[in-house]
Structure 1
Amino acid sequence: MTPRFRTRGALVLLALLLASSGAMRLGSNLGAAMARAPDTSSDAPLTCPEPPLALAEALRERESAVRGQEEAMQKRQAALDEAEKAVRLQIDELARAEAELNETIARADGAAEGDLSRLTAVYESMKPKEAAALFQAMAPEFAAGFIGRMQPEAAAAVMSGMSAEAAYSVSVLLAGRNALAPTE
């Protein structure tokens, strides 16, 4: 055997001896403890002795403090419930306001789009020379917006009636207006 196993065996033997010694001591005192136990075979109910006055007073104070804390927690919970109701009402109100705003914006966008479509149709139905004179008088950014919405044939006829500088300005604006748009 190696020295390691001899040491381990000695430790196990020592542990067993200690455990058996403890068990014997426990068993020898068990009889005496059973003999001192009160007799529970009688029909008389067991009663607890009255606690000392200081302990009873401390327990009453503790109970009072706990009751006070419970009441404070109930009040706090009620306040939280009220605040939660108010927040929910505000969220509902904001949702309704947002829906109304979106509806108003959609109507305004639709009306503006309708106005632009009608005005574009008016410019398309004009004689190209008359429309060219109007577009040449407009700011190039404004004119480019309408020419970009027109049918290609009508836009070409109008631009051919404009001066070369004005037509060039409108062309540059039309070519670059979507240059910064995302491609993906």
Structure 2
Amino acid sequence: MSRRRASRQDGRPRAGVLTVIALLMLDSAVIRIGLEAGPALAKPTESEFAESKPTAPKARDIQALLHELLKREERVKQREDMLREQEKALEIAGQAIETRLVALEEAEQSLRATLAVADNAAEKDLTRLTDVYQTMKPKDAAALFETMEPTFAAGFLSRVPPDSAAGILAGLSPEAAYTISVVMAGRNASAPLE
């Protein structure tokens, strides 16, 4: 306790007062520096402002850029128009091709029908002629077959029943009979066995 009494004068401690005064003075200095230095630090000088300011494009540069953009837009529009025209042309060509394909399919069906009629008629004619040769006397038929080309004669003889064909071949000259027989034998020689 003696120490406490020695440090007090007028009943107050000395160290506490000095500390408070020092803190108040320090606060005052900080406030002054903040008030005076804040605007000075925040406000740039004119030279700093001029250096930090971005260079503004000149009106001539802007006009040139705008002109180039307009030219490019015009080229894009022309390209779009050209592509639309090509698309229309392709669509028209596609329709024309579709129409022609339908016409070709119809023509093919018609041709098949015509060929079927012609094949049927030709088959009837061959059957009728084969029947005629078959009913003829072998000697008379042999005289006709002697004048025919061997492949043609072989075609008819292959349609005639074997007993009639044998009678016709017997009436032919040996050379004609041999040639027609070779043609008949070789007709299916190139056909696959299975």
Whether TM exceeds 0.5 here: the answer is yes
Q: How far apart, CA to CA, are the structure 2 residues paired with 1:148 and 1:118?
A: 14
Shift, 1:142, TM fit: 2.0
Which residue, out of 109, 121, 125, partners 1:115? 125
Aligned pairs for 1:30-109 within 5 A: 52-109=62-119
Give the TM-score of the pair, scaled to structure 1.
0.65
Letter in structure 1 aligned against 2:180: V
Q: How far apart, CA to CA, are the structure 2 residues paired with 1:176 and 1:98?
A: 34
Q: How far apart, CA to CA, are the structure 2 residues paired with 1:81 and 1:169?
A: 62
Number of matched pairs:
136
Out of 70-79 and 138-147, give the one that drifted further.
Answer: 138-147
> Larger Rg: 1 or 2?
2
Q: How far apart, CA to CA, are the structure 1 residues paired with 2:82 and 2:72?
A: 15
Letter in structure 1 aligned against 2:81: E
Shift, 1:103, TM fit: 1.9
Distance change >3 Å, CA 54–CA 156, structure 1 → 2 = same
Gaps of 5+ in 2: 1-58
Q: Residue in 1 aligned with 2:22?
A: none
Letter in structure 2 aligned against 1:124: Q
Shift, 1:74, TM fit: 0.8
Aligned pairs for 1:121-140 within 5 A: 121-140=131-150
Shift, 1:54, TM fit: 2.9
For residues 3-24 of structure 1, what are the alpha-carbon distances to aligned partners after superposition, in whole Å with 9 as ceiling and x for unaligned? xxxxxxxxxxxxxxxxxxxxxx
Shift, 1:175, TM fit: 0.7
Q: How far apart, CA to CA, are the structure 1 residues paired with 2:74 and 2:123?
A: 72
Q: How far apart, CA to CA, are the structure 2 residues paired with 1:55 and 1:140?
A: 91
Letter in structure 2 aligned against 1:164: P
Equivalent residue of 2:110, what SS? helix
Q: Residue in 2 aligned with 1:175?
A: 185
Shift, 1:123, TM fit: 0.9
